[in-house]
Amino acid sequence: MAKVEIKHLTKIFGKRPKAALKMVKQHKSKDEIVEKTGSTVGVYDINMSIDEGEIFVIMGLSGSGKSTLIRLLNRLIEPTQGQLFIDGEEITKFNKKQMLEIRRQKMSMVFQNFGLFPHRTLLENTEYGLEIQGVNKEERRKRAEHALDNAKLLSYKDQYPSQLSGGMQQRVGLARALTNDPDILLMDEAFSALDPLVRGEMQDELLELQANVQKTIIFITHDLNEALHIGDHIAIMKDGELQQIGTGEEILTHPANEYVKSFIGGVDRSKVLTAESIMIPALTTNIDVDGPTVALRKMADEEVSGLVAVNRKREMLGYLSSDEAAKARRNQTPLSQAVVQMPTVDLDTLVADIMPIIYDAQTPVAVVDANKHARGVIIRGSVLEALADTEGDETDA
């Protein structure tokens, strides 16, 4: 039996939901409906079932209704129509008191902007869920401290949220949600407010946590990479309606419609994409200035094994690999001797034309502009991705 079951769930905001519903059934556009009725369609006719212990990702651009959907699940927003079952109980029929119980026992939520209470310390924040259930002080302290300990924040327990970084705050938000020991964790763009590095860390932490505690996690994001990274199943939404549900693989290889296709970038890129659009920023070292030690350090910092060598005028000279740089450091030779040639392409070279070059090259391919300045580099991975897409298309055809 599915943990969460959603049937025909619909939410219309505004004063004339009935008229708006009629128009939705006639497949009128959102704008037209607002124009005519003054009501907005939040989500329309959502059907899905979520299994116990999976990470279910709901994706979509802003305005697609994904945040509304997650709030319908714990009824922070009241649905206009439809049913919602959790463990087989229809909670859309629950009264206020039963709903409080569900929120206290079964579901916890993590928010995009953390939603921490500024006037409470981390410990007081973490134990909030238990506090309002009337759990005695010692018990809730113990559990909150345990959750903070898991989030590696126990030593900060008497600090206030404003004294922490975003990543730490979100870990508190997560610890607060987990202290209740809920079955279901609702995460509303939980990592979107963090910087990319911390974001990656948090995603890994979440996966690790999931391996340990086996909760049902409903995760909202607008970032395809994040969805592919953590999701067991992915649902894609547009304008309040569901486009497709499937595993990451299914969605990438069999997009259900044009929208999903464009959303995952599933067009034949090699015929349209240029070098400029698939290149990654070039990490450069100015060998007129930098020595081997500096270059090696840069590589270590950026976690790459080579840099594009440039001169004072920022003109591209060639490729400097970590091996060559290390050699130069041992032999006390200048970097200019360690630089090897690297193939170059123009900004508007098509991906299809780059492929043969990249297969032969020992180094990444540099993308240069008319002034011989390195604008970026293309590595094998980015081309493989383009290649995978085209192959997917061929199997479709």
Partner 1 sequence: MPNLPKVPLESWISDGVNWLTTHLSGLFNLMQRSGQSIMDGLTNGLTAIPTPLMIAGLTVIAILTTPKKYGFPLFTLIGLALIANQNLWSDLMSTVTLVIMASVISLVIGIPLGIITAKSPKTAAIVKPILDFMQTMPGFVYLIPAVAFFGIGVVPGVFASIIFALPPMVRMTDLGIRQVPVALVEAADSFGSTTWQKLIKLELPNARNTILAGVNQTIMLALSMVVTASMIGAPGLGRGVLSAVQRADVGSGFVNGLGLVILAIIIDRFTQKLNTKPGQKVATRPWRRWAILATALIMIGGGVVNAVTSQKSSGQKVNLGYVSWDSEVASTNVLAESLRQHGYDVTMTPLDNAVLWQSLANGQVDASVSAWLPYTHKALYDRYKNDISLLGPNLHGAKTGFVVPDYMKVNSIADLTNEANKTVTGIEPGAGEMITAQKTLDSYSNLKGWNLLSASSGAMATALDKAYKTKQDIVVTGWSPHWMFSKYKLKYLQDPKGTMGKNESINTITRKDLKKDNPKFEKVMDKFNWTKEDMESVMLDIQNGAKPKQAATKWLKSHQKLADSWYK
Spatial separation of the C-alpha atoms in residues 122 and 175, rounded to whole Å: 10
Q: Does 331 bind partner 1 (CB under 8 A)?
A: no
Measure the CA dihedral 364/369/374/379, to 10°: -20
Select 103 or 269, whichever has its Cβ closest to partner 1. 103
Among the listed ranges 39-47, 98-106, 302-310, 348-356, the one in contact with partner 1 (CB under 8 A) is: 98-106
Select 115 or 291, whichever has its Cβ closest to partner 1. 115
Task: Give the phi and the psi of residue 232 in degrees, each rounded to 5.
Answer: -80, -45
Select 187 or 296, whichever has its Cβ closest to partner 1. 187
Select 5 or 131, whichever has its Cβ closest to partner 1. 131
135, two tokens: 């759990």
Q: Residue 14's beta-bridge partner residues?
A: none
Select 85 or 111, whichever has its Cβ closest to partner 1. 111
Determine which residue in the list 18, 31, 61, 132 makes contact with partner 1, applying CB under 8 A.
132
Among the listed ranges 128-136, 215-223, 299-307, 312-320, the one in contact with partner 1 (CB under 8 A) is: 128-136
Determine which residue in the list 61, 100, 289, 300 makes contact with partner 1, applying CB under 8 A.
100
Site for partner 1, residues 171 to 230, rule: CB under 8 A:
180, 186
76, two tokens: 């922070």
Judged by CB under 8 A, the number of residues near partner 1 is 31
Cβ at position 82, least distance to partner 1 in Å: 20
Spatial separation of the C-alpha atoms in residues 392 and 252, rounded to whole Å: 8
Cβ at position 147, least distance to partner 1 in Å: 14
Select 166 or 392, whichever has its Cβ closest to partner 1. 166
Select 119 or 330, whichever has its Cβ closest to partner 1. 119
Spatial separation of the C-alpha atoms in residues 352 and 180, rounded to whole Å: 53
Half-sphere exposure of 42 (CA within 13 A, CB side): 19
Among the listed ranges 129-137, 212-220, 274-282, 323-331, the one in contact with partner 1 (CB under 8 A) is: 129-137
Query: Length of the chain in residues, anyone?
Result: 397
Measure the CA dihedral 221/223/227/233, to 10°: 60
Select 55 or 186, whichever has its Cβ closest to partner 1. 186
Beta strands in the chain (DSSP E): 4-13, 40-50, 55-59, 81-86, 89-90, 107-110, 184-188, 216-221, 233-238, 241-246, 280-281, 284-286, 306-310, 316-321, 344-346, 365-368, 374-378
Residues in Cβ contact with 234 at an 8 Å cutoff, skipping those fewer than 6 apart? 56, 57, 58, 59, 227, 228, 245, 246, 247, 248, 251
Select 108 or 274, whichever has its Cβ closest to partner 1. 108
366, two tokens: 């540099």
Closest CA to 374 of 254, 279, 293: 279
Q: Does 385 bind partner 1 (CB under 8 A)?
A: no
Spatial separation of the C-alpha atoms in residues 13 and 80, rounded to whole Å: 9
Q: Does 161 bind partner 1 (CB under 8 A)?
A: yes
Closest CA to 366 of 390, 339, 389, 391: 339
Determine which residue in the list 3, 11, 103, 140 makes contact with partner 1, applying CB under 8 A.
103
Spatial separation of the C-alpha atoms in residues 209 and 188, rounded to whole Å: 17
Q: Does 341 bind partner 1 (CB under 8 A)?
A: no
Determine which residue in the list 26, 62, 136, 162 makes contact with partner 1, applying CB under 8 A.
162
Determine which residue in the list 14, 53, 63, 115 makes contact with partner 1, applying CB under 8 A.
115
Cβ at position 161, least distance to partner 1 in Å: 6
Site for partner 1, residues 51 to 80, rule: CB under 8 A:
71, 74, 76
Q: Footprint of partner 1 on this chain (CB under 8 A)?
A: 71, 74, 76, 99-104, 107-109, 111-113, 115-119, 128-129, 131-133, 160-163, 180, 186
